[in-house]
Structure 1
């Protein structure tokens, strides 16, 4: 759905000399003050340019950036709201909270109940699993768990307008440029259409130095089947990626360095993972891909750029990416289990089991699989001051992880023998067998592939295997 040409012809843009252009690479329209700007400013149309060169005046941790965001909007008349759970039990169409606006769908948006404040601000832990294979290789652009800073205004029909598009952009630019010191001409606003949770609207994506840091959605429609219907309530639905803002401010080699700091450094030392600074910086600058299938090709281009062989580069990066992935997954796991989720093969329980097993497998690549329980405990300690329920549920979380790990180790032991027996009788593992191994024995396609690999057999599951 094409964004109308005048949808974002805002007073703020006109007052400050922004012009609308079309990116020759992705085809999206964007707004810029920079007369020399040739692209939309978002990766992969450009490489990251903030690595080792943060454009902000200050370097902020995730906790500091969260407070910077919340207090900024409090000063501008927004009521601070406590974050909702990551398990979206108030929704029958979602298992987890995928965005801050989910907190208020559908009842607040539909006018059934009033918002806790109008306007309001919240930093909401969210979870998304559709890009789980990209967690790690994209150096933090993709995460399964992240904080979405949302400032929301609900403009109900027949009531005075709270604020809408122009003021939303002004707030964003003030925080980014006036408060944090990012030069205004470095910021681009890319046009698009966002849809989620049953609603949709045109949006602007705020980008700096190749990194999309915010999405400013102006929710005007209900999604009904395959078409959009106007809503009686126009909603300002913003998503500031708190971890990305912290990453931008630190200019670190990955978002994981900005998010996990001392935990990451400790794991890298223990696994004796060292990579030359120049290689790590270049890998970070060119780490943006949108599909897992693009990874080998992207790593090949990076290897050529660095004058290395592709396999040599992969051997250097894979243990590091494994540690990145394990950090993300164990944090997500801690949040799920602290809210009473029990690992299983259904609904939220499946997501918890998935995270435990993936974390165990990737840690094994780095020789750290026996540290999984310690890593879970470290996550509780690291985030427990900001999210007290993690410390309150510490013993229960650790007990569930320990039990699930014991089950998984036994599954792998038995499953490996089963796969080897199957391959003595047949040359390959087909999809029907994969389904049977998963349903009857709890073996994921990744587990089967790991057991089959020493026998020279590669196992691939269809993309919709878990659907």
Structure 2
């Protein structure tokens, strides 16, 4: 047993996987790197290092190998090469992993096929296959722009072979041969420049031995022989043998062009556009080349090493370190902005809506890093424009993003405005949270995380704000990487209720329950045999059932179980693995295992839920049609009374949006479109419809049950539905709310419930009409008239109250008790004449107008007396509201409430008002005498 990195434990390893036929044929030699100790294969007998960073150096920079090939040509050469070798080209997947429950973003091409294909649950779309998959990785986000090679988004060109049970497609020998032939024959790389390093890879729950392919010091590909599963950080053999390769398209392009950095290779023209717009001095090409070479050779994760590297480079070009860093910083930001803008093109273009959770959190993290850079360096850039430049640049490679460029621009504009408001109020939040503390005012990493996650305030803004107050903070170099890592995997689905978990063991010997609700949805009765009785008859398991179990957001059927001398009401139905349980109440008699029962469902209820379920599909289709492809189902619930649909969207839905969605929904209902339900091979369904199939969630099945509202909506769905949209009846949206940032909730009623809702609203309108003595057609005008009158009356009341407050202030000040240079006002109010808000206004006017005065006002209501204490400016040097609170607490007077140095408000525990006043005056006198 040995540790293989990342804490993973492996029992033995198949060393033979590294002994490749091609190596023998071509004369490769196996050697051990004198620096890192890894084994590698090379044609050069003099080579003593693996040449990977930091053991070697980039020798291709400034020495292009094939600058005539564009990035698009390289991609096409790769895909065509593998097509010629029997692979099927597969269309790229979105960067947001809609088909998975464990991760949010695609981090490698194999993510497209985990876990369903790699586990052998679902066949691959082709075998073998080739793909060029855009990927997003944010775990090295701090290094982007600084190293010359790191990117947050990249295309992973790949070829995959899936061997199930035994090696039948191809394995390690063919994989290495393909890579060798592609680099040498297709790209013209000299054979002696290629090094294969023996290594280990793990990710997405799988692992295996691999080769890292290094050319002129740059890692350009990884060839993984995946045949292990990772469970609880331990490695276990799989039945399957999967070839998982990744060729870095951008890295290969950089290699062939010999550009100073990968950013110059990818974005060269855009770098110049932004540099000129920002008025940044152009750096020497040689300087940029040296920076990339040095950054690759040293571990810049360690600040001391980065500083040492930059000091050497600064000295070489005749600069002081600070001057050199100031020279580099704008370039680093330009590189970073262009990389992040490209990532946002993919993320927002593939439908992510920025929010505070899930993939939306990660998109917002990237957006705010860009906005933060632009703000702190005062750059004349607009993020909307930079992302649009990227959409235009890649229009031939990804024309689909041209269709959504306006939506992407609107999202970014909204996010920029939010960020602007956030920064304005964020500085106050920082000061209150940090400077308001007693004692040490240090800022920890956890503080920075809370300020970012809870308030959206970047740590750089925290540092800038607090530096003016003399508070120095250190921001971890990998702050954003740590945040990304915390949020890159999906939150584990909550475990089932404990009683359901316990049932699994008791049900595991039972056969799958035979169901009839799909085949005979109109049937209301079915005879069945009782297989298991649990919990004193509360839970009944049958050999077959007509009852539909809860699932996909739809409530279960309800009804009756009737047997000889037995009857019970079925109130809930659940599916545990493949066994369906019936939860019963109001039993008459006792059920016995082996006896026969008749299942009777509440058909009216089932039909109501069916209407709500089909309506949910139609409403979702309307929302996507009207609002755009960024709309994605984030949750749903279908009950007998109403439906609920949660959708992702980047702004609040307007009244116009809701009316249009409702109008389109009812139009489709009136058209009486067919609702087709059929089964389809998973891969064929995905190829035909895309991942919009999984609006209702991931379905881990080889064959999908497809529910298609003709020409409107198509989803993989296990629910019961109407046969035509006309059966739904009227759909009325009754409520819309934003349940979290980036998610809108629509609640609607359907069919008879919708008719009843409209009738109830009509009755209310008629009643209002009668009360106000106006026709219903003129109600809105009459209400507006009344609102205007009420507003005028309130203004008059406020004016009069202001006069009363002024009179009360004058009266109280005249009655104030003197205590040294100060005056104390204590006043008890009874009844409802003055609210706490009124007392607050009186107290604050006294505080502001009479700086040497303390006002204690309270309304003696049971069970708690409402109070306000306000202290004038001159008093604060002797006593503060905090001290008053402490002293009252010491005397066992419980204070519920809060405040600041100059005021305290809340409620006091019951006590004779006279006693409270005596204690308060004593406290004040004591404090003032000490002061």
TM bracket (short chain): over 0.9
Structure possessing the higher radius of gyration over alpha carbons? 2
**2:284 counterpart of 1:276:** yes
Q: Following the alignment from structure 2 to structure 1, what is the Cα–Cα distance between the partners of residues 274 and 252?
A: 24
Question: Are residue 77 (structure 1) and residue 91 (structure 2) matched?
Answer: no
Alpha-carbon distance in structure 2 between the residues aligned to 1:320 and 1:435: 28
Could you tell me which residue of structure 1 aligns to residue 869 of structure 2?
Answer: none
Contact 1:323 1:362 in 2 (8 A): no
Q: Report the Cα distance in structure 1 between the residues aligned to 2:469 and 2:55, rounded to whole angstroms.
A: 41
Name which of 381, 398, 417 aligns with 1:406. Answer: 417
Q: Which is further off, 241-250 or 287-296?
A: 287-296
**Distance (whole Å) between structure 2 residues aligned to residue 299 and residue 241 of structure 1:** 28
Matched, 1:21 2:31: yes
Higher fraction of strand: 2
Q: 2:258 aligns with which of 251, 260, 266?
A: 251
By how many angstroms is 1:296 displaced? Answer: 2.6
SS where residue 278 of structure 1 aligns?
Answer: helix
Greater mean deviation of Cα atoms: 30-39 or 256-265: 256-265
Does the 8 A contact of 2:66 with 2:257 survive in 1? no
Picking from 349, 352, 355, the partner of 1:341 is 352
**Which protein has greater RCO, CA pairs closer than 8 Å, 6+ apart?**
1
Question: Which residue number in structure 2 is paired with residue 446 of structure 1?
Answer: 460
* Alignment map for 1:2-401 (pairs within 5 Å): 5-54=15-64, 56-139=65-148, 141-158=149-166, 161-273=168-280, 274-288=282-296, 289-290=298-299, 292-294=301-303, 295-306=306-317, 308-364=319-375, 367-368=378-379, 370-401=381-412
| Residue 138 to residue 251, structure 1, CA distance change in 2 (3 Å) | same
Q: 1:303 to 1:107 in 2, by over 3 A?
A: same
TM-score with structure 1 length normalisation? 0.93
- Distance change (3 Å), C-alpha of 1:22 and 1:307: farther
- CA-CA distance at 1:413 after TM superposition: 1.7
Please provide the CA RMSD for this pair: 2.2
Q: CA deviation at 1:404?
A: 0.5
SS at match of 1:151: strand
| Structure 2 residue runs without a partner (length 5+) | 5-12, 487-931
Structure 1 residues 8 and 207, CA, compared in 2 at 3 Å: closer, same or farther?
same
Taking a change above 3 Å as real, the CA distance of residues 330 and 444 of structure 1, as seen in their structure-2 partners, is: same
**Higher mean Cα deviation, 219-228 or 402-411?**
219-228
| Stretches of 4+ aligned residues off by more than 6 angstroms | none
Which has the higher mean CA deviation after the structures are superposed, 391-400 or 418-427? 418-427
Of 430, 440, 463, the residue aligned with 1:419 is: 430
Alpha-carbon shift at residue 347 of structure 1 (Å): 1.0
**Cα distance, 1:97 vs. partner?**
0.3
Q: Give the total of aligned pairs.
A: 464
Q: 1 CA distance for matches of 2:312 and 2:263?
A: 23
CA contact (8 A) 1:220 1:233 kept: yes
2:158 alignment partner, SS class: strand
Task: Find the aligned partners of 1:365 and 1:176 in 2 and give their Cα distance.
Answer: 43
TM-score, length basis structure 2: 0.48
Change in CA separation of 1:245 and 1:198 when aligned onto 2, cut-off 3 Å: same
Distance 1:441 1:164 in 2: 50
Matched residues in 2 for 1:235 and 1:62: separation? 28
Moved more, 418-427 or 123-132: 418-427
SS at the partner of 1:402?
A: helix
The answer to whether the 8 Å contact 1:58/1:180 transfers is no
The alpha-carbon distance between structure 1 residues 379 and 134, as it changes in their structure 2 partners (threshold 3 A), is same
Q: How far is 1:303 from its partner?
A: 3.3
1:187-237 Cα shifts (integer Å, max 9, x gaps): 111111000011101000000111000000011111111221111111110
Q: Note closer, same or farther for the CA distance 1:260–1:53 as it changes in structure 2 (3 Å cut).
A: same
Q: Name the structure 1 match of 2:588.
A: none
1:135 CA displacement: 0.8
Q: Is the 8 A contact 1:61 1:258 kept in 2?
A: no
How many angstroms apart in 2 are the aligned matches of 1:275 and 1:62?
25
